[in-house]
Amino acid sequence: MTDSSHESVPSRHRKRFPGISSRAYEHPADRSALVALRRLTGFDTVFKALSGLLPERSLRLLFLSDSVRVSEAQFVHLNDMLRDACYILDLEKVPPMYVKQDPQPNAMCIGLDEPIIVVTTGLVELLDEEEMRAVVGHEVGHALSGHSVYRTILLFLTNLAVKVAWIPLGNVAIMAIVTALREWFRKSELSADRAGLLVGQDIKASMRGLMKIAGGNHLHEMNVDAFLAQADEYEKGGDLRDSVLKILNVLPRTHPFTTVRAAELKKWSETRDFQRIMDGHYPKRDEDKDASVTDSFRESATHYADTVRTSKDPLMKLVGDIAGGAGDLGGKLRDRFTGAAGGNTGGGSAKGGAGGTGGAQGSSATDGSEGTWRRPDPEEGPEPGN
Q: Please state the φ and ψ torsions of residue 169, each to the nearest 5 degrees.
A: -70, -40
Closest to 132 (Cα-Cα) out of 213, 219, 13, 187: 213
Number of domains observed in the structure of the chain:
1
Give yes or no for a contact between 231 and 262, defined as CB atoms under 8 angstroms apart.
yes
Block means of pLDDT (10 residues each) for the chain, length 386 residues? 43 85 88 67 63 66 91 97 97 95 92 88 96 97 87 72 53 66 83 97 96 92 93 74 65 78 95 96 86 59 56 50 49 51 43 39 39 47 41
Give the integer Cα–Cα distance in Å for 270 and 216.
Answer: 27
pLDDT per residue over 113-144, tens digit each?
789 999 999 999 999 999 999 999 999 999 99
Residues present in the chain in total: 386
Give the integer Cα–Cα distance in Å for 160 and 175.
Answer: 10
Burial 49-87 (b: 16+ CB within 10 A, else e): ebeeebebeebbeebeeebeebeeeebeebbbbbbbbbb
Closest to 116 (Cα-Cα) out of 61, 180, 188: 61
- Please give the pLDDT value at position 40: 63
Query: Looking at the domain assignment, is residue 355 inside a domain?
Result: no
Helix (H) or strand (E) holding 246: helix 240-250
Give yes or no for a contact between 300 and 292, defined as CB atoms under 8 angstroms apart.
no
Distances (CA, A) of 161 to 42, 150, 171, 348: 16, 16, 6, 50
Give yes or no for a contact between 255 and 189, defined as CB atoms under 8 angstroms apart.
yes
Q: Which residues on adjacent β-strands are paired with residue 119?
A: 99, 107
Distances (CA, A) of 303 to 23, 72, 199, 311, 339: 15, 43, 25, 12, 28
Instruction: Locate the DSSP E strands across 92-209.
Output: 97-100, 107-110, 116-120
β-pairing verdict for 116-120 and 97-100: parallel
Q: Could you tell me the strand order of the sheet in which 68-69 lies?
A: 68-69, 97-100, 116-120, 107-110
Residues of the domain holding 190: 6-234+256-283
Give yes or no for a contact between 199 and 89, defined as CB atoms under 8 angstroms apart.
yes
26, 131, 139, 370: the active-site residue: 139
- The pTM for the full model equals 0.69
Query: Looking at the domain assignment, is residue 386 inside a domain?
Result: no
Confirm whether 379 is a catalytic residue.
Answer: no
Query: Looking at the domain assignment, is residue 297 inside a domain?
Result: no
Query: Looking at the domain assignment, is residue 335 inside a domain?
Result: no
Query: Looking at the domain assignment, is residue 1 inside a domain?
Result: no
Query: Looking at the domain assignment, is residue 192 inside a domain?
Result: yes
- CA atoms lying within 13 Å on the CB side of residue 207: 19
Query: Looking at the domain assignment, is residue 330 inside a domain?
Result: no
Closest to 229 (Cα-Cα) out of 272, 190, 259: 259
Amino acid at 7: E
Query: Looking at the domain assignment, is residue 362 inside a domain?
Result: no
Helix (H) or strand (E) holding 38: helix 28-38
- Please give the pLDDT value at position 75: 97
Give the integer Cα–Cα distance in Å for 148 and 154.
Answer: 10
Amino acid at 21: S
